[in-house]
Amino acid sequence: MMKTPITVLQELMVKFSESPEYECVAQSGPQHLAVFEYRCAARGHVVSATARSKKEAKQEVARLMLARLAAAGLSVPPPYAAPAAAAPLACDEPSAGAVGTGSRSYKALLKELCQEYNLPGPEYTLEGDTGPAHARRFTARCAVGAHARIASATTKKAAQQLAAQQLYQYLRENLARLTEDFVEEDALARAHERAMERYVEARADAPHRPDLGQCVADYHLEEEQVSLGADALEAASPDAEPETALQAVAGALGLRVEWHSLPAEGGALTLVRLAPSSPPLVFCARTRDAAAAEALTYLRLTMKFKGQK
């Protein structure tokens, strides 16, 4: 009999004298069609998953964590070492380059809830940041009228998401009778549709302009890594496939290349993420080669910018 993902993950973590941390972070939908969201943290990684029962959600999030640990280089027994469906990426709000309608962007849900019931729009403020550069903690405040919540995380966006999640869940619980007809899936779909429209307009009106203010040094790379990355860029053949070149440069920089597919009108979008990095290095395009080319353009310009500083 094959072991469950939870059992396999527990046995794997015992080797490190650690235990995975599970948390049921959300429940949505009517009682007879409830959807549960579980979060799992292990070895510095955090993933989330949803299912129709707590048991299924916990098993699914354990499966995703095993796939994440396998991608990070840990020895995970089959079949759990195979790539799993990627967990949704944290983001400001649904956008063509960040999230699909199946994820839970609580900033988007909170904004939709406020618009639906004529509440003041959410306001976000940065309350502070602490810790060294390689382990920064940001504290964000989310307020809707007189109600507010404060949360901390390793990035500003993640802190805002957590604060928005706490405030959204508080409002839904305390305004249950008034908001019983508010459907989260429909709200996310509306937000995603508007974001797609903005994305298409932005891509049509503006050329690619990487943020040169965020040089590679912002991602806590050693000088030697940056030098190796620059050498890998120079060594890349002009005729090489962008995806192949990106793998070589990312490897030199000590970054992992992650691919995601996002549903969109006119065909799926391809998202490539270079990890680990904070803030995230994420690039989006219609094809893998185009997304890889976007990432290479960014790395080439930012490393050149760093060398001129």
CA distance 7 to 71: 19
- For residue 301, pLDDT over 90 is answered with no
Q: Identify the burial level of 15 via C-beta atoms within 10 angstroms of its C-beta, where 0-12 means exposed, 13-18 middle and 19 or more buried.
A: exposed
Torsion of CA 84, 20, 157, 57, to 10 degrees: 50
Residue that terminates a domain, selected from 203, 221, 249 = 203
What is the per-residue pLDDT for 21? 93
Computed on alpha carbons and rounded to an integer, the radius of gyration of the chain in Å comes to 21
Q: Which residue, among 308, 307, 302, 279, has the nearest Cα to 216 in the 3D structure?
A: 302
Task: Please report which residue ranges of 143-222 form alpha helices under DSSP H.
Answer: 156-174, 184-205
Q: Are 5 and 80 in contact (CB under 8 A)?
A: yes
What is the per-residue pLDDT for 123? 94
Residues 296 and 232 in one domain: yes
- List the CATH number of the domain containing 141: 3.30.160.20
What is the per-residue pLDDT for 224? 54
Residues 191 and 236 in one domain: no
CA distance 54 to 24: 8
- For residue 265, pLDDT over 70 is answered with no
Q: Quick one: the chain helix, strand, coil %, rounded to 5? A: 45, 20, 35
- Does pTM surpass 0.95? no
- The distance from CA 188 to its chain's CA centroid, rounded to whole angstroms, is 16
What band does 97 get if pLDDT is binned at 50, 70 and 90? very low
* More confident position, 38 or 302: 38
- For residue 205, pLDDT over 90 is answered with no
What is the per-residue pLDDT for 91? 39
What is the per-residue pLDDT for 304? 63
Sign of CA dihedral 96, 102, 106, 110: positive
What band does 93 get if pLDDT is binned at 50, 70 and 90? very low
Q: What percent of the chain has pLDDT over 70?
A: 71
- For residue 296, pLDDT over 90 is answered with no
Residues 249 and 171 in one domain: no
CA distance 237 to 241: 9
Q: Are 291 and 271 in contact (CB under 8 A)?
A: yes
What is the per-residue pLDDT for 305? 52
Number of structural domains, the chain?
3
**219, part of any domain:** yes
**80, part of any domain:** no
- For residue 5, pLDDT over 80 is answered with yes
Please report how many Cα atoms fall inside a 13 Å half-sphere around the Cα of residue 211, on the Cβ side: 10
What is the per-residue pLDDT for 286? 83
Q: What is the pLDDT of residues 54-86, one digit of tens each?
A: 888 898 899 889 988 988 888 888 777 755 443
Residues 192 and 258 in one domain: no
What is the per-residue pLDDT for 202? 57
CA distance 94 to 100: 7
Domain ranges, residue 252: 213-308
**32, part of any domain:** yes
Q: Reduced to 3 states, what is the DSSP secondary structure of residue 186?
A: helix
What band does 92 get if pLDDT is binned at 50, 70 and 90? very low
**84, part of any domain:** no
**61, part of any domain:** yes
Residues 235 and 184 in one domain: no
* More confident position, 154 or 19: 19
Q: Is the peptide bond before 276 cis (omega within 30 degrees of 0)?
A: yes
Q: Which residue, among 100, 98, 215, has the nearest Cα to 157 in the 3D structure?
A: 98
- For residue 136, pLDDT over 70 is answered with yes
Of the listed ranges 112-116, 149-153, 186-190, 232-236, the one predicted with least confidence: 232-236
What is the per-residue pLDDT for 101? 35
What is the per-residue pLDDT for 143? 93
CA distance 165 to 39: 13
Give the DSSP letter of residue 148.
E
